[in-house]
A and B are shown apart, each in its own frame.
Chain A
Amino acid sequence: MTAGAHVMTERRHPPFTQVGMASLALIVTGGIYLSSNLSEHVSLAPAVALLAASALLLAGNLFSLTRVEGFAWWRFFQVAKWTFLAYLTTAGLIEFAFLENHTSGGPLIVLTLSLAIFAIEVPTLIAFTVARYAPSQPPGSVRPVT
């Protein structure tokens, strides 16, 4: 293993995967809560609270990543854009199923926002896992002289 590769592997990162999984778990919990009670009048407050907490974790997680020196953003965005397309399709299919079942009003808004977070969260988790082991600059690029 080269010294460069060693440095690449040992670079310190925030607990992005753990926080991302917590965020994912929150929206899944909210989704289960709403899905279990869709046919009756249900308080949206727990689902909204879970959604807000999930969104905060997602935002905080991405912010923490911007603080990482030398993070391979080129690889992050390369992976994230394609996985986002894939999970946007998945989220769209699930949304379509909700619309076909005449889900409407508050529950539909909360479920739609939850799916939006899902469609962002999963690609960022995948992109982070790939990019954390990638070099800061794309291969062949010229590093600016400082």
Chain B
Amino acid sequence: MIAVKPRSVLILWTAAASRTTILDNMATTAPPPTMGPPAEDAHAAPRPALDFEIVPRKGLIFVAIAVVALVAAIAANKLWPLVFLHVAGGAAWTIIDLFLGLVLGPIMGSMSIPSRLEFTTRLMPKMVLIMPIVVTLTLASGWQLGAHLGTVSSSYPEHAWVVASFIVVGVMAVLALGLLEPANIAVLFELKKPQPDPAVISRLMKRFIYCAGILGIMQVATLVIMTKLASS
């Protein structure tokens, strides 16, 4: 789906990068790379920009299908499609946040530099598409479902739990939209430059991983609230 060429990425990396360039500083926990040119190559000509799409255009087809499904479900206002989109979207959102923040994040921190570059240029463009549509599916179908079932009404006995879910989602939205998503896109733009700035990559990646970790922890609160509502 993405026009990343892992082999060429590695070749370019090992040929043009020095120990003091971009991904040496992508995270502070990584061991120094064991391969790389000697120090005098540090001022070599800029490498060609990495070949990957910031927004995978083929993925937009799936996004469009999801949007059409959401509009149809809301317009039909039938229980099953709304439950399907809300539960499927919510499960994907929760699992991705938990897995990225608490499992993949620490793993990325311990990966070798070339591996991390390859992984980042494959993962991050997909995240640019997946997260916004998954969040939109969950929230819009969830609101419609709440209206359909009457759970968003203030007369609903567990209304306090519903409001708690609004607050948790609100905090998560501000973090995700204000910090995580901009960092995600900015790191991709930086990686496409002929001479990426290692300090910028490091700063943005830290912001992304820490944010994903916090969101992952907050998803536990979402799970508590949603299971409470579903069982009441």
Query: Which residues on the B side are within 8 Å of A130 (C-beta)?
Result: 182, 185-186, 189
CB A123 to nearest CB in B, in angstroms, measures 10
When the two chains form their complex, are residues A9 and B179 in contact, meaning their CB atoms are under 8 A apart?
no
Q: Mark B189-226, 1 if CB is under 8 A from A, else 0.
A: 11000010111100010000000000000000000000
Contacting B at CB under 8 A, from A1-36, are 1-2, 5, 8-9, 17, 20-21, 24-25, 28-29, 31-32, 35-36
Selected contact of A9 from candidates B140, B155, B186, B200, CB within 8 Å: B200
Q: Which chain A residue shows the least CB distance to B204?
A: A129
Is B67 located at the chain interface by the 8 A CB criterion? yes
Query: Which residues on the B side are within 8 Å of A37 (C-beta)?
Result: 154
Selected contact of A1 from candidates B136, B163, B166, B198, CB within 8 Å: B198
Query: Which residues on the A side are within 8 Å of B174 (C-beta)?
Result: 21, 24-25, 28
When the two chains form their complex, are residues A126 and B181 in contact, meaning their CB atoms are under 8 A apart?
yes
The stretch of B28-36, B68-76, B96-104, B105-113 in contact with A is B68-76
Chain A binding site: helix, strand, loop or mixed by DSSP? helix
Query: Which residues on the A side are within 8 Å of B147 (C-beta)?
Result: 101
- Within the assembled complex, what's the spacing in Å between the Cα atoms of A130 and B74? 35
Selected contact of A21 from candidates B178, B185, B190, B198, CB within 8 Å: B178
Is B120 located at the chain interface by the 8 A CB criterion? no
The number of chain A residues with a CB under 8 A from chain B is 43
Given that A1-B197, A126-B181 are known contacts, is A35 also in contact with B152, CB under 8 Å in the complex?
Answer: yes
Is B173 located at the chain interface by the 8 A CB criterion? yes
Selected contact of A122 from candidates B70, B71, B154, B181, CB within 8 Å: B181
- Within the assembled complex, what's the spacing in Å between the Cα atoms of A129 and B189? 10
When the two chains form their complex, are residues A133 and B182 in contact, meaning their CB atoms are under 8 A apart?
no
The number of chain B residues with a CB under 8 A from chain A is 43
When the two chains form their complex, are residues B179 and A24 in contact, meaning their CB atoms are under 8 A apart?
no
- Within the assembled complex, what's the spacing in Å between the Cα atoms of A9 and B200? 7
When the two chains form their complex, are residues A125 and B178 in contact, meaning their CB atoms are under 8 A apart?
yes
Is A90 located at the chain interface by the 8 A CB criterion? yes
Given that A17-B178, A28-B173, A29-B170 are known contacts, is A93 also in contact with B140, CB under 8 Å in the complex?
Answer: yes
Query: Which residues on the A side are within 8 Å of B140 (C-beta)?
Result: 93-94, 96-97
Contacting A at CB under 8 A, from B45-89, are 55, 67, 70-71, 74-75, 77
Query: Which residues on the A side are within 8 Å of B189 (C-beta)?
Result: 75, 79, 130, 133-134
Q: Mark B150-171, 1 if CB is under 8 A from A, else 0.
A: 0011110001001100110010
Is A128 located at the chain interface by the 8 A CB criterion? yes
Is A56 located at the chain interface by the 8 A CB criterion? no
When the two chains form their complex, are residues B71 and A96 in contact, meaning their CB atoms are under 8 A apart?
yes
Is A38 located at the chain interface by the 8 A CB criterion? yes
Query: Which residues on the B side are within 8 Å of A59 (C-beta)?
Result: none
When the two chains form their complex, are residues A35 and B186 in contact, meaning their CB atoms are under 8 A apart?
no
Contacting B at CB under 8 A, from A60-80, are 75, 79
When the two chains form their complex, are residues A39 and B198 in contact, meaning their CB atoms are under 8 A apart?
no
When the two chains form their complex, are residues A1 and B195 in contact, meaning their CB atoms are under 8 A apart?
yes
- Within the assembled complex, what's the spacing in Å between the Cα atoms of A37 and B153? 7
List chain B positions with a Cβ less than 8 A from chain A. Answer: 21, 55, 67, 70-71, 74-75, 77, 132, 136, 139-140, 143-144, 147, 152-155, 159, 162-163, 166-167, 170, 173-174, 177-179, 181-183, 185-186, 189-190, 195, 197-200, 204
